[in-house]
Amino acid sequence: MKKILTGIQSTGTPHLGNILSVIIPSLDLSNKYFSFIFIADLHSMTKIKNMEIIRHNTYQVAAAWLAFGLNTENSLFYRQSDVTEVTELAWYLSCFYPHKRLKLSHSFKENINHVKEKISVGLFTYPILMAADILLYNAEVIPVGKDQLQHIEITRDIAKRLNKKIGKKVFILPKAFIQKETESIPGIDGKKMSKSKKNWINIFSTDEILKKQIMRIHTDSKSLNDKKNPDNDGIITLYKLIAPINQVEVMKSKYLKGGYGYLDAKKTLYDCIIDKFSDERKKFFSLIKKKSLLDHILFLGAKKARKIAFERLNYIRKNLSFNTLLR
Ligand code: TRP
């Protein structure tokens, strides 16, 4: 059985963009593939320095995956920091990768321009840890947002270099899995939805806050009676991703006719979100109160993951001429 693997950082509650581009497609694939799903809390340390906040966010991410129906019986669901083998592998990878190449990585370049405060070494080597996440299990298919494509390329590059060095196919070259429709989901300002831009829609907030987020979606300044352009419109772009196609057509024709305001469209989008995700929201709100249950689920997942990770790492160690370790 082929393996898929993906991670979401514990930088906050997963937003609609994460859900549509990573969580739902990964869970869809989990019928066909064996899945490794983890919470990238080590990666979030490159951005958040308050460890209590990271811990809090980890529960949010865990509850989101479970609310969407992740089955922990037939997949591995764990916290990245619980499987310490990954950091050892990251070290080996880092020693065979030229730093000049990492300088070109966008996770580094973007932050260099935006984040004025100190850039840590961890942020610089972010893609190496991500490569280790993947190569530790030889995962073949990586469901991610489009912005992660470059990291997958770096992972393939590292895998190739090490295979060549060792003279054996120790690492499988992974492929990104990106769905066309959800490759880049706009936030309320029309730019890609992301935690750092604070332009998200968080379906796991209260009805009231969720409504406020939707009401803030940017539009042009046409008034109620004006005819509106249904293409290139933030509300319809999001509506398309969750509403049935015939409902989208209805909204589009209302735009073209006029007499239908952006406020009406936003209300329809809000109702649609509330309706579509009602079960998941209920489950999330219940799970998030049960921290010890979440801890237990992640503990069991880490135990299973470590078994596989330990054996794989030993195999890699052997191929690098290090001693194999006993547990
Ligand atoms: N960098 C990814 C993101 O921000 C998260 C991540 C970390 C990841 N390790 C991974 C995704 C391994 C896929 C595979 O979205």
pLDDT for 107 beyond 80: no
Residue 93's alpha-carbon distances to 3, 98, 133, 193, in angstroms, are: 21, 10, 11, 31
Judge contact between 236 and 255, C-beta under 8 A. yes
- Say yes or no: 46 and 163 in one domain: yes
Atom of ligand 1 nearest to the CA of 151: 1
Residue 20 lies in a domain: yes
- Say yes or no: 94 and 235 in one domain: no
Q: How far apart are CA 221 and CA 85, in angstroms?
A: 54
- Say yes or no: 211 and 307 in one domain: no
Give the per-residue pLDDT at 169: 98
- Say yes or no: 64 and 112 in one domain: yes
Residue 64 lies in a domain: yes
- Say yes or no: 112 and 234 in one domain: no
- Say yes or no: 42 and 180 in one domain: yes
For residue 78, the enclosing domain spans: 3-185+290-319
289 Cα: distance to centroid of ligand 1 (angstroms): 26
- Say yes or no: 271 and 296 in one domain: no
Give the per-residue pLDDT at 232: 86
Residue 157's alpha-carbon distances to 40, 85, 138, 150, 249, in angstroms, are: 22, 21, 14, 10, 44
142 Cα: distance to centroid of ligand 1 (angstroms): 9
Residue 325 lies in a domain: no
Say which CATH number the domain at 259 has. 1.10.240.10
Total domains present in the chain: 2
What's the average model confidence in pLDDT over 95-106?
91
pLDDT tens digits along 12-48:
999 999 999 999 999 999 989 999 999 999 999 999 9
2 token code pair = 């082929």
Residue 298 lies in a domain: yes
Ranges assigned E (strand) in the chain: 3-9, 34-40, 75-79, 141-143, 175-177
Confidence of residue 184 (pLDDT cuts 50, 70, 90): confident
Q: Between 271 and 113, whose confidence is greater?
A: 271
124 token code pair = 């610089």
Residue 145 lies in a domain: yes
Confidence of residue 106 (pLDDT cuts 50, 70, 90): confident
Task: Please name the residue whose Cα sits nearest to atom 6 of ligand 1.
Answer: 7
Question: Percent helix, strand, coil in the chain (nearest 5)?
Answer: 55, 10, 35
Atom of ligand 1 nearest to the CA of 139: 14
What's the average model confidence in pLDDT over 186-191?
94
Confidence of residue 181 (pLDDT cuts 50, 70, 90): confident
Residue 115's alpha-carbon distances to 109, 118, 196, 300, in angstroms, are: 10, 8, 11, 37
pLDDT tens digits along 146-180:
989 999 999 999 999 999 999 999 999 999 999 98
Residue 196 lies in a domain: no
pLDDT tens digits along 286-308:
999 999 999 999 999 999 999 99
- Say yes or no: 96 and 240 in one domain: no
The overall average pLDDT reported for the chain is: 95
Give the per-residue pLDDT at 116: 60
Q: Is 5 left (phi over 0), alpha (psi -120 to 50) or beta?
A: beta
Residue 141 lies in a domain: yes
Probe residue for ligand 1, chosen from 6, 19, 135 as the CB with the greatest number of ligand atoms within 8 Å: 6
312 phi/psi in degrees, rounded to 5: -65, -45
- Say yes or no: 28 and 134 in one domain: yes
Residue 150's alpha-carbon distances to 89, 156, 158, in angstroms, are: 20, 10, 12
Give the per-residue pLDDT at 208: 98
152 Cα: distance to centroid of ligand 1 (angstroms): 9
47 Cα: distance to centroid of ligand 1 (angstroms): 14
- Say yes or no: 40 and 164 in one domain: yes
Say which CATH number the domain at 127 has. 3.40.50.620
Confidence of residue 258 (pLDDT cuts 50, 70, 90): very high
What's the average model confidence in pLDDT over 79-93?
98
- Say yes or no: 33 and 155 in one domain: yes
What's the average model confidence in pLDDT over 311-319?
98
Task: Please name the residue whose Cα sits nearest to atom 9 of ligand 1.
Answer: 130
Task: Please name the residue whose Cα sits nearest to atom 13 of ligand 1.
Answer: 6
Which amino acids bring their CB within 6 angstroms of ligand 1? Answer: 5-7, 9, 40, 43, 130, 133-134, 142, 144, 148, 151
194 Cα: distance to centroid of ligand 1 (angstroms): 14
Give the per-residue pLDDT at 114: 65
pLDDT tens digits along 215-235:
999 999 999 999 999 998 999
Confidence of residue 115 (pLDDT cuts 50, 70, 90): low
- Say yes or no: 105 and 59 in one domain: yes
**Residues of the chain above pLDDT 90, percent:** 88
Atom of ligand 1 nearest to the CA of 18: 15
Residue 198 lies in a domain: no
